[in-house]
Amino acid sequence: MTFAEYPSLRKGVDLSEFTTWKVGGPAEWFAEPGCENELLALLAWGHQQGLPIRCLGAGSNLLIADRGLAGLSLCLRRLQGSQLDRNSGMIEAEAGEPIPSLARKAARAGLSGLEWAVGIPGTVGGAVVMNAGAQGGCSADRLISVQVVDPALPEQRIRLSADQLHFAYRHSRLQFEPLIVLSAQWQLEPGHDPAAVGARTSANLHSRTSSQPYQLPSCGSVFRNPEPQKAGRLIESLGLKGLQIGGAAVSTLHANFIVNLGDAKAADIEALIDELQLRVSEGHGVELQPEVRRLGFP
Ligand SMILES: Cc1cc2nc3c(=O)[nH]c(=O)nc-3n(C[C@H](O)[C@H](O)[C@H](O)COP(=O)(O)OP(=O)(O)OC[C@H]3O[C@@H](n4cnc5c(N)ncnc54)[C@H](O)[C@@H]3O)c2cc1C
C-alpha cells in the first residue's frame, strides 16, 4: 500500500479534530476511508503490519489520551448511505451514516421507531456498539441485524442477528470484540403520517437541547445511570455542578456532562471523572461507572 493508492492514509494526525470533546493526541496511523473496499484494504494492510486497529465513528463517546494512539485509527464517518423501504419499514444504513439524519429520513418516509435518536450526535456504527438510547428508545429496540468484519479476516463479511449481540443498557458484545460494524438493519413501523413522526422527532430534539449543554464540546453523559438512580442527580446533590479541573468542568446545566471550556486536555477530563467517582462514592456509597470509552490510557 502506498500513500498515492490510499490518499486518506496519514501519519501523526491530531485526533482532537475527530472527537466531540475536542481532546486527544495524535494517531500513529490514521485514515478516513471513503468506501467499504478502501476500509477492507486498510484493515488488511493494518493486520499485515501487526498494528492495533481502532475505529472511530463521530467520536461522540470517546476520551482519547493526550499522548495519542499507537497503531491504525480508522474514522468511518465518510461511509454514509442508507436505503429505506417505506412499504415494509425496513431500513439499512452504512456505519458512518449520522444517526440524526437517519431519524429525519425515517420521519420523512412515514416510518416510526427512530424518533428518539435525533439528538444523538453519533454514527450508525457507534450507536449499535454503544446501544445508544434516549427518551425511552435505544438502538437495540428494532434492530434486525448488523454486518461486521473481523480485521483478521477482512475478506469475509459476517451478518449477526440482534440476539447475537447481547444487548443491555448501553451495552453490546461489540464493545469487547474487535469486530467492525459495516452496516445495520432496522425494522421500523411503516404507514405513519410523516408530519406527525417529524413533529415527535423535532420535539425530542428540542427537549434535549434545552436541558443539555449542546453549545460546548462534550461527550454527552459521562457515567452510566446506576438504575434506578440517575448519575446526574447524585452529582448535583453533592453541589458539584461547575466543579473544574484545568479546562474541564461539570456542566452547570446537566451534572452528568463534563464540558471542555476551551483548552481542556484529556488528562483534565480524566482527573475530573476520577474526582466525581470519589466524591459520589464517599457521599452516596455508589460507584459510578463511565459510559464514555477511554482509548490510549494505561
Ligand atoms: C451532546 C451529546 C449528547 C449525547 N446524548 C446521548 C444520548 O442521549 N444517549 C446515548 O446513548 N449517547 C449519547 N451521547 C453519546 C454518543 O453520541 C453515543 O454513544 C453514540 O452512539 C456514539 O457514536 P459515535 O459514532 O460517535 O461513536 P464513537 O464515539 O466514535 O465510538 C464509540 C465506540 O464505538 C466504537 N465504534 C464506533 N464505530 C464503530 C464501528 N463502525 N464498528 C465498530 N466499533 C465502532 C468505537 O471504537 C468506540 O468504542 C451523546 C453525546 C453527545 C456529544
Residues whose beta carbon lies within 6 Å of some atom of ligand 1: 20, 54-62, 76, 95, 120-123, 125-127, 129-130, 132-134, 174, 180-181, 214, 218-220, 293
More confident of the two residues 143 and 155: 143
The mean pLDDT of 202-209, rounded to a whole number, is 92
Sign of CA dihedral 144, 81, 78, 139: negative
- pLDDT, one tens digit per residue, over 51-107 is 999 999 999 999 999 999 999 999 999 999 999 999 999 999 999 999 999 999 999
Q: Quick check: is 200 catalytic?
A: no
Ramachandran quadrant class, 213 (left: phi over 0; alpha: psi -120 to 50; beta: rest) = beta
> Phi, psi (5° rounding) for residue 81?
150, 150
The rounded mean pLDDT for the chain is 96
**Structural class in CATH, domain 82-209:** alpha beta
Distance 93 CA to ligand 1 centre (A): 16
Is domain 10-75 in CATH 3.40.50.10470, yes or no? no
* Active-site annotation holds for 88: no
**Residue among 36, 97, 115, 291 flagged as catalytic:** 291
Residue 70 is predicted with a pLDDT of 98
The model's pTM is: 0.96
| Statement: residue 262 has pLDDT above 60 | yes
Residue 5's pLDDT band (boundaries 50, 70, 90)? Answer: low
Ligand 1 centroid–CA 177 distance in Å is 16
Q: Tell me which residue of 21, 30, 94, 104 sits closest to 64, measured CA to CA.
A: 21
Catalytic residue among 94, 170, 172, 208: 170
Q: Would you state the pLDDT for residue 85?
A: 98
pLDDT number for residue 172: 98
Q: Which residue has the cell 429496540?
A: 141
Compute, in angstroms, the gap from residue 1 CA to the centroid of ligand 1. Answer: 30
Determine the Cα–Cα distance for residues 48 and 45; give it in Å rounded to an integer. Answer: 5
- For 9-66, the pLDDT digits (tens) are 999 999 999 999 999 999 999 999 999 999 999 999 999 999 999 999 999 999 999 9
CATH topology assigned to domain 231-295: 3.90.78
The ranges assigned to domains in the chain are: 10-75, 82-209, 231-295
Confidence label for 3 from pLDDT (cuts 50, 70 and 90): low
